[in-house]
A and B are shown apart, each in its own frame.
Chain A
Amino acid sequence: MSVAKSWDELQKMHRACTITVETLEALAQAAVPGVTTKELDRIAHDRIVAAGARPAFLGYRNYPATLCISVNEEVVHGIPGPRKLREGDIVGLDLGCIVQGFYGDAARTVGVGKVDPAAAQLMRVTRESLLAGIAQCRVRNRLGDIGWAVQSHAEGFGYSVVREFVGHGIGTSLHEEPQVPNYGPPGRRERLVAGMTLAIEPMVNVGRPEVKVLEDGWTAVTRDGSLSAHFELTVAVTEHGPWILSEPYPYAAGPEMHA
Protein backbone atom coordinates (compact mmCIF):
# COMPACT_ATOMS: atom_id res chain seq x y z
CA MET A 1 0.00 0.00 0.00
CA SER A 2 1.37 3.33 -0.96
CA VAL A 3 1.98 5.76 1.86
CA ALA A 4 -0.46 8.66 1.98
CA LYS A 5 1.36 11.92 1.32
CA SER A 6 0.93 15.02 3.44
CA TRP A 7 -0.08 18.35 1.96
CA ASP A 8 3.55 19.59 2.11
CA GLU A 9 4.79 16.50 0.34
CA LEU A 10 2.16 16.88 -2.35
CA GLN A 11 3.41 20.45 -2.91
CA LYS A 12 6.90 19.12 -3.66
CA MET A 13 5.51 16.50 -6.02
CA HIS A 14 3.39 19.20 -7.63
CA ARG A 15 6.57 21.18 -8.30
CA ALA A 16 8.36 18.12 -9.73
CA CYS A 17 5.40 17.24 -11.96
CA THR A 18 5.04 20.81 -13.19
CA ILE A 19 8.70 20.97 -14.22
CA THR A 20 8.35 17.60 -15.94
CA VAL A 21 5.26 18.54 -17.92
CA GLU A 22 6.65 21.95 -18.91
CA THR A 23 9.81 20.23 -20.14
CA LEU A 24 7.72 17.74 -22.11
CA GLU A 25 5.93 20.67 -23.74
CA ALA A 26 9.28 22.13 -24.81
CA LEU A 27 10.36 18.72 -26.14
CA ALA A 28 7.12 18.39 -28.09
CA GLN A 29 7.95 21.71 -29.79
CA ALA A 30 11.50 20.54 -30.47
CA ALA A 31 10.48 17.18 -31.98
CA VAL A 32 10.77 18.18 -35.64
CA PRO A 33 12.04 16.18 -38.62
CA GLY A 34 15.83 15.81 -38.58
CA VAL A 35 16.44 16.29 -34.87
CA THR A 36 18.22 13.41 -33.15
CA THR A 37 16.81 11.72 -30.07
CA LYS A 38 20.10 12.47 -28.28
CA GLU A 39 19.50 16.18 -28.92
CA LEU A 40 16.07 15.99 -27.24
CA ASP A 41 17.65 14.22 -24.27
CA ARG A 42 20.12 17.09 -23.91
CA ILE A 43 17.31 19.66 -23.99
CA ALA A 44 15.42 17.70 -21.32
CA HIS A 45 18.47 17.45 -19.08
CA ASP A 46 19.36 21.14 -19.41
CA ARG A 47 15.83 22.33 -18.67
CA ILE A 48 15.40 20.11 -15.62
CA VAL A 49 18.73 21.20 -14.17
CA ALA A 50 17.98 24.87 -14.95
CA ALA A 51 14.69 24.53 -13.04
CA GLY A 52 16.62 23.38 -9.97
CA ALA A 53 15.52 19.74 -10.15
CA ARG A 54 17.36 16.49 -10.76
CA PRO A 55 16.61 14.02 -13.58
CA ALA A 56 14.81 11.00 -12.14
CA PHE A 57 15.67 8.42 -14.79
CA LEU A 58 19.39 9.11 -15.24
CA GLY A 59 21.12 6.27 -13.39
CA TYR A 60 17.85 4.62 -12.33
CA ARG A 61 18.72 0.90 -12.55
CA ASN A 62 21.63 2.11 -14.72
CA TYR A 63 19.38 3.79 -17.26
CA PRO A 64 21.82 5.94 -19.25
CA ALA A 65 19.73 9.05 -20.07
CA THR A 66 17.35 11.70 -18.74
CA LEU A 67 14.59 11.00 -21.25
CA CYS A 68 12.96 7.84 -22.55
CA ILE A 69 12.16 8.33 -26.22
CA SER A 70 10.20 5.65 -28.04
CA VAL A 71 9.58 6.05 -31.76
CA ASN A 72 6.69 4.36 -33.64
CA GLU A 73 6.66 0.63 -32.76
CA GLU A 74 8.80 1.28 -29.70
CA VAL A 75 6.47 1.13 -26.70
CA VAL A 76 8.53 2.57 -23.85
CA HIS A 77 12.07 2.91 -22.47
CA GLY A 78 13.72 3.85 -25.77
CA ILE A 79 17.25 5.13 -25.14
CA PRO A 80 18.18 8.43 -26.83
CA GLY A 81 20.83 8.07 -29.52
CA PRO A 82 21.85 9.20 -33.01
CA ARG A 83 18.47 8.28 -34.56
CA LYS A 84 16.97 11.21 -36.49
CA LEU A 85 13.22 11.81 -36.26
CA ARG A 86 11.38 11.72 -39.56
CA GLU A 87 8.21 13.34 -40.79
CA GLY A 88 5.25 11.16 -39.79
CA ASP A 89 6.94 9.44 -36.81
CA ILE A 90 5.09 9.29 -33.52
CA VAL A 91 7.40 9.81 -30.58
CA GLY A 92 6.77 8.81 -26.98
CA LEU A 93 8.53 11.16 -24.57
CA ASP A 94 8.75 9.93 -20.99
CA LEU A 95 10.41 12.08 -18.37
CA GLY A 96 10.74 12.42 -14.63
CA CYS A 97 12.49 14.69 -12.15
CA ILE A 98 13.17 14.98 -8.43
CA VAL A 99 12.44 18.06 -6.30
CA GLN A 100 13.56 17.95 -2.65
CA GLY A 101 13.48 14.17 -2.69
CA PHE A 102 10.06 13.86 -4.30
CA TYR A 103 9.47 12.46 -7.78
CA GLY A 104 7.33 13.62 -10.66
CA ASP A 105 6.75 11.41 -13.69
CA ALA A 106 4.92 12.13 -16.95
CA ALA A 107 4.86 11.11 -20.58
CA ARG A 108 3.18 12.00 -23.82
CA THR A 109 3.31 10.91 -27.43
CA VAL A 110 3.65 13.53 -30.14
CA GLY A 111 3.62 13.46 -33.92
CA VAL A 112 6.63 14.68 -35.91
CA GLY A 113 5.39 17.04 -38.61
CA LYS A 114 2.26 15.68 -40.25
CA VAL A 115 1.20 12.19 -39.13
CA ASP A 116 -1.38 9.98 -40.76
CA PRO A 117 -4.92 9.94 -39.33
CA ALA A 118 -4.61 6.40 -37.93
CA ALA A 119 -1.59 7.41 -35.83
CA ALA A 120 -3.32 10.61 -34.73
CA GLN A 121 -6.34 8.61 -33.59
CA LEU A 122 -4.11 6.20 -31.63
CA MET A 123 -2.57 9.12 -29.77
CA ARG A 124 -5.95 10.69 -29.08
CA VAL A 125 -7.48 7.46 -27.77
CA THR A 126 -4.45 6.69 -25.58
CA ARG A 127 -4.69 10.12 -24.00
CA GLU A 128 -8.42 9.69 -23.47
CA SER A 129 -7.77 6.31 -21.82
CA LEU A 130 -5.40 8.00 -19.40
CA LEU A 131 -8.04 10.59 -18.54
CA ALA A 132 -10.66 7.85 -18.09
CA GLY A 133 -8.29 6.15 -15.65
CA ILE A 134 -7.65 9.39 -13.78
CA ALA A 135 -11.40 9.97 -13.42
CA GLN A 136 -11.52 6.75 -11.36
CA CYS A 137 -8.98 8.06 -8.83
CA ARG A 138 -11.54 8.67 -6.13
CA VAL A 139 -11.54 7.71 -2.49
CA ARG A 140 -13.18 4.31 -1.98
CA ASN A 141 -12.74 3.25 -5.60
CA ARG A 142 -10.36 0.37 -6.14
CA LEU A 143 -7.19 0.01 -8.18
CA GLY A 144 -8.97 -2.37 -10.55
CA ASP A 145 -11.42 0.39 -11.47
CA ILE A 146 -8.56 2.43 -12.95
CA GLY A 147 -7.31 -0.45 -15.09
CA TRP A 148 -10.78 -1.30 -16.23
CA ALA A 149 -11.53 2.28 -17.32
CA VAL A 150 -8.29 2.48 -19.32
CA GLN A 151 -8.69 -0.93 -20.91
CA SER A 152 -12.33 -0.60 -21.89
CA HIS A 153 -11.76 2.78 -23.53
CA ALA A 154 -8.73 1.65 -25.54
CA GLU A 155 -10.19 -1.72 -26.54
CA GLY A 156 -13.40 0.01 -27.61
CA PHE A 157 -11.39 1.33 -30.56
CA GLY A 158 -9.95 -2.10 -31.38
CA TYR A 159 -6.60 -1.32 -29.79
CA SER A 160 -4.86 -3.38 -27.13
CA VAL A 161 -3.18 -2.39 -23.86
CA VAL A 162 0.28 -3.58 -22.89
CA ARG A 163 0.35 -6.06 -19.98
CA GLU A 164 4.09 -6.41 -19.33
CA PHE A 165 4.51 -2.87 -18.06
CA VAL A 166 2.31 -1.11 -15.55
CA GLY A 167 1.87 2.21 -13.79
CA HIS A 168 3.02 2.57 -10.23
CA GLY A 169 2.81 4.42 -6.97
CA ILE A 170 5.27 7.30 -6.78
CA GLY A 171 6.64 9.57 -4.06
CA THR A 172 10.07 9.43 -2.47
CA SER A 173 11.11 6.86 -5.05
CA LEU A 174 10.21 6.47 -8.70
CA HIS A 175 8.43 3.14 -8.31
CA GLU A 176 6.43 2.52 -5.15
CA GLU A 177 3.65 0.19 -4.22
CA PRO A 178 1.08 -0.42 -5.58
CA GLN A 179 1.42 -1.44 -9.20
CA VAL A 180 -1.25 0.15 -11.39
CA PRO A 181 -2.04 -2.09 -14.37
CA ASN A 182 -3.91 -0.65 -17.34
CA TYR A 183 -6.18 -3.69 -17.44
CA GLY A 184 -8.11 -6.00 -15.21
CA PRO A 185 -11.52 -6.44 -13.70
CA PRO A 186 -13.18 -3.53 -11.88
CA GLY A 187 -13.88 -3.65 -8.16
CA ARG A 188 -10.74 -5.65 -7.31
CA ARG A 189 -7.52 -4.96 -5.42
CA GLU A 190 -6.78 -2.23 -2.89
CA ARG A 191 -9.09 0.65 -2.14
CA LEU A 192 -7.81 4.12 -2.93
CA VAL A 193 -7.27 6.44 0.03
CA ALA A 194 -6.74 10.21 0.19
CA GLY A 195 -3.10 11.18 -0.22
CA MET A 196 -2.12 8.26 -2.46
CA THR A 197 -0.05 9.31 -5.46
CA LEU A 198 -0.14 7.19 -8.58
CA ALA A 199 1.55 7.38 -11.96
CA ILE A 200 -1.05 6.14 -14.42
CA GLU A 201 0.36 5.32 -17.81
CA PRO A 202 -1.54 3.51 -20.53
CA MET A 203 0.59 2.01 -23.31
CA VAL A 204 -1.73 1.28 -26.21
CA ASN A 205 -0.88 -0.73 -29.33
CA VAL A 206 -2.67 -0.73 -32.68
CA GLY A 207 -2.07 -4.47 -33.03
CA ARG A 208 -1.57 -7.14 -30.41
CA PRO A 209 -0.60 -6.38 -26.81
CA GLU A 210 2.62 -8.42 -26.65
CA VAL A 211 5.93 -6.59 -26.37
CA LYS A 212 9.55 -7.66 -26.32
CA VAL A 213 12.60 -5.98 -24.87
CA LEU A 214 15.53 -5.43 -27.24
CA GLU A 215 19.14 -6.42 -26.52
CA ASP A 216 19.95 -3.07 -24.94
CA GLY A 217 17.91 -4.34 -21.98
CA TRP A 218 15.54 -1.36 -22.04
CA THR A 219 13.79 -0.60 -25.32
CA ALA A 220 10.41 -2.35 -25.45
CA VAL A 221 8.86 -2.77 -28.90
CA THR A 222 5.58 -4.32 -30.04
CA ARG A 223 6.12 -7.94 -31.11
CA ASP A 224 4.03 -7.50 -34.23
CA GLY A 225 5.70 -4.20 -35.15
CA SER A 226 2.48 -2.19 -34.83
CA LEU A 227 2.41 1.43 -33.67
CA SER A 228 2.26 2.15 -29.97
CA ALA A 229 1.47 5.27 -27.95
CA HIS A 230 2.06 6.11 -24.30
CA PHE A 231 0.70 8.86 -22.06
CA GLU A 232 1.35 9.29 -18.36
CA LEU A 233 0.46 11.68 -15.55
CA THR A 234 1.08 11.63 -11.82
CA VAL A 235 -2.17 11.91 -9.87
CA ALA A 236 -2.97 12.39 -6.20
CA VAL A 237 -6.17 10.93 -4.77
CA THR A 238 -7.90 13.54 -2.60
CA GLU A 239 -11.16 13.63 -0.67
CA HIS A 240 -12.55 15.88 -3.39
CA GLY A 241 -11.42 13.79 -6.35
CA PRO A 242 -8.33 13.30 -8.49
CA TRP A 243 -5.64 15.96 -8.59
CA ILE A 244 -3.36 15.81 -11.62
CA LEU A 245 -0.18 16.95 -9.93
CA SER A 246 1.10 18.97 -12.87
CA GLU A 247 -2.03 21.13 -12.70
CA PRO A 248 -3.02 23.67 -10.04
CA TYR A 249 -5.00 22.18 -7.16
CA PRO A 250 -8.50 22.08 -8.67
CA TYR A 251 -10.63 22.16 -5.53
CA ALA A 252 -11.36 25.13 -3.32
CA ALA A 253 -10.12 23.54 -0.12
CA GLY A 254 -6.41 23.37 0.68
CA PRO A 255 -4.55 21.44 3.38
CA GLU A 256 -7.78 20.28 5.01
CA MET A 257 -8.26 17.71 2.26
CA HIS A 258 -7.13 15.00 4.66
CA ALA A 259 -9.73 15.96 7.24
Chain B
Amino acid sequence: MPEPAAEVPALPARVVELLPSALFRVQLAGQGRPQATVHVAPEAGMLRVRAGDEVLVRLSAVDPGRGRIVGRI
Protein backbone atom coordinates (compact mmCIF):
# COMPACT_ATOMS: atom_id res chain seq x y z
CA MET B 1 0.00 0.00 0.00
CA PRO B 2 1.64 3.26 -1.09
CA GLU B 3 2.13 6.06 1.39
CA PRO B 4 1.05 9.63 0.62
CA ALA B 5 4.18 11.57 -0.32
CA ALA B 6 5.35 14.03 2.31
CA GLU B 7 5.60 17.18 0.25
CA VAL B 8 6.17 20.73 1.27
CA PRO B 9 2.87 22.44 0.43
CA ALA B 10 2.66 25.30 -2.06
CA LEU B 11 1.71 28.53 -0.29
CA PRO B 12 0.07 31.63 -1.74
CA ALA B 13 2.30 34.69 -1.76
CA ARG B 14 2.66 38.12 -3.34
CA VAL B 15 5.77 39.28 -5.18
CA VAL B 16 7.02 42.49 -3.59
CA GLU B 17 10.36 43.09 -5.24
CA LEU B 18 12.34 42.01 -8.26
CA LEU B 19 15.96 41.26 -7.43
CA PRO B 20 19.00 40.59 -9.59
CA SER B 21 19.81 37.06 -10.74
CA ALA B 22 16.18 36.22 -11.48
CA LEU B 23 15.33 36.33 -7.80
CA PHE B 24 12.13 37.66 -6.31
CA ARG B 25 11.24 38.71 -2.81
CA VAL B 26 7.82 37.48 -1.83
CA GLN B 27 5.45 38.04 1.05
CA LEU B 28 3.59 34.96 2.18
CA ALA B 29 -0.15 35.43 2.60
CA GLY B 30 -1.05 36.05 6.23
CA GLN B 31 2.48 36.98 7.27
CA GLY B 32 3.69 40.43 8.15
CA ARG B 33 6.80 41.09 6.12
CA PRO B 34 8.66 40.01 3.02
CA GLN B 35 10.05 36.73 4.00
CA ALA B 36 11.43 34.61 1.23
CA THR B 37 13.69 35.04 -1.75
CA VAL B 38 12.66 32.74 -4.53
CA HIS B 39 13.45 31.61 -8.04
CA VAL B 40 10.92 30.64 -10.65
CA ALA B 41 10.84 26.84 -10.65
CA PRO B 42 11.63 25.21 -14.00
CA GLU B 43 8.34 23.28 -13.84
CA ALA B 44 6.41 26.56 -13.82
CA GLY B 45 7.45 27.00 -17.44
CA MET B 46 7.98 30.42 -19.02
CA LEU B 47 6.30 32.38 -16.27
CA ARG B 48 6.57 36.15 -16.38
CA VAL B 49 6.61 37.47 -12.86
CA ARG B 50 6.14 41.12 -11.94
CA ALA B 51 5.92 42.95 -8.64
CA GLY B 52 2.43 42.61 -7.20
CA ASP B 53 1.72 39.22 -8.80
CA GLU B 54 -0.04 36.60 -6.73
CA VAL B 55 1.97 33.39 -6.99
CA LEU B 56 2.27 29.95 -5.41
CA VAL B 57 5.52 29.39 -3.57
CA ARG B 58 7.04 26.14 -2.36
CA LEU B 59 9.60 26.87 0.33
CA SER B 60 12.73 24.79 0.67
CA ALA B 61 12.64 22.22 3.43
CA VAL B 62 16.22 23.05 4.35
CA ASP B 63 16.08 26.84 4.18
CA PRO B 64 12.64 28.43 4.69
CA GLY B 65 14.08 31.74 3.52
CA ARG B 66 14.40 30.29 0.04
CA GLY B 67 12.02 28.61 -2.29
CA ARG B 68 10.55 28.36 -5.76
CA ILE B 69 7.64 29.95 -7.52
CA VAL B 70 5.69 27.00 -8.85
CA GLY B 71 2.83 28.82 -10.53
CA ARG B 72 0.41 31.68 -10.63
CA ILE B 73 -2.75 31.74 -8.52
Judging by beta carbons under 8 Å apart, are B5 and A175 in contact? no
Nearest CB of chain A from residue B53's CB, rounded to whole Å? 24
Q: Which residues of B contact A166 (CB under 8 A)?
A: 2-5
Judging by beta carbons under 8 Å apart, are A181 and B5 in contact? yes
Q: Which residues of A contact B46 (CB under 8 A)?
A: none
A164 within 8 A of B: yes
A41 within 8 A of B: no
Q: Which residues of A contact B4 (CB under 8 A)?
A: 164-166
Judging by beta carbons under 8 Å apart, are B1 and A179 in contact? no
Total A residues in contact with B, Cβ cutoff 8 Å: 25
B8 within 8 A of A: no
Q: Which residues of A contact B1 (CB under 8 A)?
A: 56-57, 60, 63, 68, 76-77, 94, 96, 105, 107, 174-175
Could you mark each residue 1-15 of chain B with 1 if its beta carbon is under 8 Å from any beta carbon of chain A, else 0?
111111100000000
Q: Which residues of A contact B3 (CB under 8 A)?
A: 165-168, 175, 179
B 1-43 contacts with A by CB, 8 A: 1-7
B 44-58 contacts with A by CB, 8 A: none
Residues of chain B at the chain A interface (Cβ within 8 Å): 1-7
Residues of chain A at the chain B interface (Cβ within 8 Å): 56-57, 60, 63, 68, 76-77, 94, 96, 105, 107, 163-168, 174-175, 179, 181, 201, 203, 230, 232
The 5 A-B residue pairs whose C-beta atoms are closest, nearest first, are A165-B2, A168-B3, A166-B5, A175-B3, A201-B2
